[in-house]
Amino acid sequence: MSAIPLESSVEAAAERASASGATGRPGASHAAPLAPRARLLPALAAVYRAQLSRARVARIPLLFVATFQSVGIMILMRGVVDGGSEARSVVAGSSVLVVAFVALNLLAQYFGRLRADGGLDHYATLPVRPASVVLGTAAAYASFTVPGTFVTAVFGCLLFGLPMAHLWILAAVIPLAGAALSGLGAALGLLAPRQELATLFGQLGMSAALLLGVLPASRMPGPIAYARDLLPSTYGVEAFARGFDAHPDWALIGLDLGVCAAVGVVSLAVAAWAYRRAAVR
């Protein structure tokens, strides 16, 4: 669309100019000027803010569910695991599970529903880039997970007697694992041919994050350990778990988070493509 030189200078009241015969483009002298497009970041911010406001109405009960679920799993695992590296992966896995529940499962359901009942038309008939809608929504869902993830992590540290010195790693784990999982959730929701399938894929993704993330990797059979390596949330779990070491290996943590970031970039790009495909049929 950069072939339209006037796009940035044209006021929203396009018809006034067109009524007076103003020219919009060389070569099509009678075409009316186009109203400006919404720019990427302001539109992203507007979508983010609108989605965040939904939390008050719709998301808070689900956030409690997500947090209690993770806390419950840790209490259950307390009977099986007693400290050491296994306790670290249980706490890290349960904390990242909150992110998987909201960013993957709920976001897949949200986009699946939006696509199924025509809600995407609203965004598709506004001059906004797919990336603004997908990123704004994904960022909002990732933000919903912040309180639950912190509560789960702190509770887990107290329960298993783990050090809290490096809990600040969550400030990197939540956005990066959030990007990877919400990108995956958005792509699943937008690509699923039916709404029920979007819900199913979201649930399955979350179940995978639960089983492969919370259960200690050392006890898994070979093929399942490979499946664990394929799941993006695993890298968030590993990065967080490494933070409990007395002297964390920052290079490995950086590598794990780098994997999350890379998956996030790819999956969000796929989601933006899927959005465009779903919006214009």
Partner 1 sequence: MSTGTAAARAGTVCAVRGLVKTYPATRGRRGAPGTPEVRATDGISLEVHRGEIFGLLGPNGAGKSTLVRQLTGLMRPDAGSVDVLGHDLVRHPERAARLIAYLGQESTALDELTVSLAVETTGRLRGLPLREARAERDAVLAELGLDEIAGRPLKKLSGGQRRLACFATALVGERPVLVLDEPTTGMDPVARRAVWAAVDRRRAERGATVLLVTHNVIEAETVLDRVAVIERGRVIACDTPAGLKARVADEVRVELVWRDRAPVEVPEVAALRAEAQEAGRRWTLRLSPERARAAVATVTGGPAFAALDDFTLATPSLEDVYLALGGRTEGLVKA
Provide the binding-site residues for partner 1, judged by CB under 8 A.
1, 12-16, 18-19, 24, 27-32, 34-39, 42-43, 46-47, 49-50, 53-54, 57-58, 113-114, 117-128, 132, 279-281
Instruction: Supply the minimum distance, in Å, between the C-beta of residue 16 and partner 1.
Output: 7
Instruction: Supply the minimum distance, in Å, between the C-beta of residue 182 and partner 1.
Output: 18
What Cα–Cα distance (Å) separates residue 215 from each residue in 38, 93, 202, 221? Answer: 45, 8, 20, 12
* Nearer residue to partner 1 within complex by CB, 54 or 166: 54
Mark 198-210 as b/e (b = at least 16 C-beta within 10 Å).
Answer: bbbbbeebbebbb
* Nearer residue to partner 1 within complex by CB, 99 or 128: 128
Instruction: Supply the minimum distance, in Å, between the C-beta of residue 57 and partner 1.
Output: 5
* Nearer residue to partner 1 within complex by CB, 63 or 212: 63
Instruction: Supply the minimum distance, in Å, between the C-beta of residue 43 and partner 1.
Output: 6
Instruction: Supply the minimum distance, in Å, between the C-beta of residue 31 and partner 1.
Output: 3
Instruction: Supply the minimum distance, in Å, between the C-beta of residue 130 and partner 1.
Output: 11
* Nearer residue to partner 1 within complex by CB, 136 or 264: 136
DSSP per-residue string spanning 245-275: SSS--HHHHHHHHHHHHHHHHHHHHHHHHHH
Which has the closest alpha carbon to 194: 260, 111, 265? Answer: 111
Say how many CA atoms lie within 13 Å of 47 toward its Cβ: 24
Q: Are 186 and 134 in contact (CB under 8 A)?
A: yes
* Nearer residue to partner 1 within complex by CB, 27 or 221: 27
* Nearer residue to partner 1 within complex by CB, 29 or 207: 29
Which has the closest alpha carbon to 212: 104, 85, 96? Answer: 96
